[in-house]
Structure 1
Amino acid sequence: MENTRKTLKTYSYDELSPSAHLIGSNEDLLTEILVRLPATSILRFKCLSKDWQSLLTHRRFTLRNDKLSISPGLFVRNKYVPFDNEYRTPPPFRSLDFYPDVNGIRILQSCNGLLLCCSRQGHTRDRMYYVFNPTTKQFAIIPLVYSHKPDRFIGLAYHQTSCPHYKVICITFSYSCPSSDLVLAEIQIYSSDTRKWKNLNHYFSESSYNTPFGNGVYWNEAVCWHPSDRNYLSYFDLKLEKLKELPIPSPEKPMRRYGYRSTYLYFGESRGHLHWVATAKHEYHIYLLVYEMSWDRLGWFVKYKVKLHDLPGVCPQMTRNNQFEVIDIVRGEEEEEEEEEEEEDAFMVLNINKKIIRYNILDKSCKHMTTISQIRIGGREVHRYIQSLTSF
């Protein structure tokens, strides 16, 4: 015991080795090392000293960390499912009990590390809404927004650089008057900066009333919905504060080469890339085509093509009856000079015959993640987990 105590010596700054002294005195070098550590380790290091807390909470560090942050898994019906069972990470929480809501809490949306949650039960108008960071366990209660009409959409917009103050967008539609062919869209925006709701009104043609607002996706300073022939209003520009249209993937080339396009299977974002997935039939094979939207929002291009019959457990009957789901598309690290490495890291998450699998797009390898009780999950029940040190 005495020998052990002797080894537990506290070293002064002058007693450190030259290499340790160099690292400790170089904030840039220290930052490059610390940003690569797991978020849980960084949170512990904040307690070491005031200097470390100042460094690790500075916006310069958190932005750098969030850019390199990983997505270790998904929430499926509030249950955490890691992407890799061999190097599985512990769940960020056991249950959504960060606030004593008598109706329980469920996840509505995930957006760059933050979760939009609401009361699990109760009338829509009486539900509580929350923004929760599962990494830091920080949460905020969103004040209720009054509306005598049910919400057509409520979603979260947040990004470390383009939208550092998160926003909650609520959209409702109603006819302006029985004799008018115009539709009133009431758009209300809550900002964590002002902590107030802002009201906007827009009028559109009657056909816009049937716009199928589903799960919104924050991308490129806008909240986007999957485009379709029925969806005339496919994104809300947060800068201009206007609803606008996104094009749908064109049946022209390169689609002409594959010959057939079906209804979309997936719509989502990963590391600044907006994806839209559909099936295509070429000769006797069925493919999954992963489209990516250009940054100017003017069109789509085919990023990946996956032959369904190459996936384990997929049979022709399943593809004909659409008994499979595309749950997520996850891109690799944002390294501009190493695009090939990004390709290797990209993978799809699919639900095939009650099994959720991870499919590496480049080398066509598969890993089993978990088994679920039902055949279909649904996009509203799956939310990506991203480690983030963001505070609000």
Structure 2
Amino acid sequence: MEDSDQQSGAFIFSNDDLLTEILLRLPVKSILRFKSVSKHWSWLLSHRHFTHRYDNDNLSKSLGLYAGNIYVPFDSEDRSAPSFRGFIEASCNGLLLCHSGDDHNHIYYVYNPTTKNIATIPSVPKDQNIFMFMGLAFHQTDFLHYKVVRVSWLPYAFLVHVYSSDTGKWKLSVERFSISSGCIIRKGVYLNGVVHWALTHGKLLSYNIEVEKLHMLNYPVDNEIRYFGESRGRLHLVVAPLSKLHLTMYEILRDRSGWFVKYQVQLDGLPDMTNLSCYDFNVIDVVRGEKEEDTFMLLSILGKFIKYNLHHKSFKLIFSFPGEKMYIWSESHRYMPILSSIPSARL
């Protein structure tokens, strides 16, 4: 029996196709550890054929998020954080856009916290415009190279610069857009070749990176925006009437022509919401599960992160910030493990 087992093991280890099918089913921590088994395993697990398949199978699996310099896992009790450097500006499908340096001299770079692969971004051409937004665009099914989108303001218009790791250069878009005075550009969200911004004046602004075209869409209602983001290829907007603890989660139609109501959430019943107002919490993230019943909303309530299942209407405390009992978190960046190396900028 032992000889048979040894022969079976030897057959598996010598058959790259069979070995690949087995390794594709392992968590990313095991993959990284198994790279040290042998030079051949290191080559196999680093080869684009393997990393591309692994990432495509796992690209929608969100494991946690970064709240500042704190990593918060959604489910696991293991709070050991995937490393990151500097200050996180944006996240997109497993990559982080970070910066270091002082307020007047930021150095930007794209970083994969899973593999610790890093690529520096060359500075955008100098101008006198006021910086407004810097975001990241990356998805393996769209293009292998990442892109960085920068929005700056000059009187009466906004300019869009796009950096591509394929060319190693910044390009000024032919499109400019004008919006009302005092309008603020909120967090940018990348999906299907398009960067979307939720503006403060009741409109969603979308920019198609490839064809350099802008599109504007009204919000479904005139309520305060509590969250804007993407999960599993769906764009979500969460709004709430002022002075109420009632949330409505909208999802955009496939053709981006309008919205429909996905969930209604009444927060009065949560123990941590007793005697609280709408100003005492924030919606941090909405994460779609592989199954609809696994979809949840992450809430920041006075120093705590509450995971609220939108299907079962159940909740779970997953993190408390030490010494921050009154703090309401507003900014976070989702972590999704990917193995692909990111191309270095052509400096």
- The interval holding the TM-score normalised by the smaller chain is 0.7 to 0.9
In 1, Cα distance between the equivalents of 2:121 and 2:320?
35
Q: Which has the higher mean CA deviation after the structures are superposed, 61-70 or 322-331?
A: 61-70
Task: Measure how far apart 1:83 and its partner are.
Answer: 1.7
Structure 1 residues 129 and 310 mapped into 2: Cα distance closer, same or farther (>3 Å)? same
Flag the structure with larger Rg: 1
Hey, what does 2:279 align to over in structure 1?
Answer: 322
Task: Say if 2:96 is the partner of 1:137.
Answer: no
Structure 1 residues 90 and 280 mapped into 2: Cα distance closer, same or farther (>3 Å)? same
SS at match of 2:276: helix
- Pairs within 5 Å for 1:52-71: 52-66=41-55, 67-69=57-59, 70-71=61-62
RMSD over aligned CA atoms reads 2.8
Structure 1 residues 329 and 20 mapped into 2: Cα distance closer, same or farther (>3 Å)? farther
Gaps of 5+ in 2: 343-347
In 1, Cα distance between the equivalents of 2:19 and 2:218?
45
- Which has the larger share of strand? 2
Structure 1 residues 185 and 322 mapped into 2: Cα distance closer, same or farther (>3 Å)? closer
Hey, what does 2:232 align to over in structure 1?
Answer: 271
Whether the aligned pair in 2 keeps the contact of 1:72 and 1:89 (CA below 8 Å) is no
Structure 1 residues 267 and 309 mapped into 2: Cα distance closer, same or farther (>3 Å)? same
Task: Measure how far apart 1:113 and its partner are.
Answer: 0.6
Hey, what does 1:364 align to over in structure 2?
Answer: 313
Task: Measure how far apart 1:51 and its partner are.
Answer: 4.2
In 2, Cα distance between the equivalents of 1:290 and 1:203?
31
Letter in 2 for 1:276: L
Letter in 1 for 2:88: I
- Pairs within 5 Å for 1:1-392: 16-18=6-8, 21=11, 25=15, 27=17, 29-66=18-55, 67-69=57-59, 70-84=61-75, 87-93=77-83, 96=85, 105-119=86-100, 121-123=102-104, 126-145=105-124, 146-175=126-155, 183-205=156-178, 207-208=179-180, 210-227=182-199, 229-231=201-203, 234-249=205-220, 251=221, 262-279=223-240, 286-315=245-274, 317-319=275-277, 321-333=278-290, 342-372=291-321, 373=324, 374-379=326-331, 382-392=332-342
Whether the aligned pair in 1 keeps the contact of 2:184 and 2:199 (CA below 8 Å) is no
Whether the aligned pair in 1 keeps the contact of 2:175 and 2:212 (CA below 8 Å) is no
SS at match of 1:135: coil
Task: Measure how far apart 1:286 and its partner are.
Answer: 4.5
Letter in 1 for 2:128: H
CA deviation digits over 1:10-32, x for unaligned, max 9? x9xx98434762585361x5334
Structure 1 residues 148 and 322 mapped into 2: Cα distance closer, same or farther (>3 Å)? same
Task: Measure how far apart 1:326 and its partner are.
Answer: 0.5
CA deviation digits over 1:147-171, x for unaligned, max 9? 2222111111111211321111111
Whether the aligned pair in 2 keeps the contact of 1:347 and 1:361 (CA below 8 Å) is yes
Whether the aligned pair in 2 keeps the contact of 1:109 and 1:383 (CA below 8 Å) is yes
In 1, Cα distance between the equivalents of 2:235 and 2:36?
38
Task: Measure how far apart 1:188 and its partner are.
Answer: 1.3
Task: Measure how far apart 1:57 and its partner are.
Answer: 2.8
In 2, Cα distance between the equivalents of 1:355 and 1:286?
17
Whether the aligned pair in 2 keeps the contact of 1:106 and 1:120 (CA below 8 Å) is no
SS at match of 1:198: strand
Whether the aligned pair in 1 keeps the contact of 2:249 and 2:262 (CA below 8 Å) is yes
Gaps of 5+ in 1: 1-10, 97-104, 176-182, 252-260, 334-341
SS at match of 1:264: strand
In 2, Cα distance between the equivalents of 1:72 and 1:302?
26
Whether the aligned pair in 2 keeps the contact of 1:157 and 1:163 (CA below 8 Å) is no
Letter in 2 for 1:264: I
Task: Measure how far apart 1:129 and its partner are.
Answer: 0.6
Whether the aligned pair in 1 keeps the contact of 2:186 and 2:199 (CA below 8 Å) is no
In 2, Cα distance between the equivalents of 1:65 and 1:163?
16
CA deviation digits over 1:348-385, x for unaligned, max 9? 11012321111122222222122231422223xx1111
- Which has the larger share of helix? 1
Q: Which has the higher contact order (CA 8 A, sep 6+)?
A: 2
Whether the aligned pair in 1 keeps the contact of 2:152 and 2:159 (CA below 8 Å) is yes
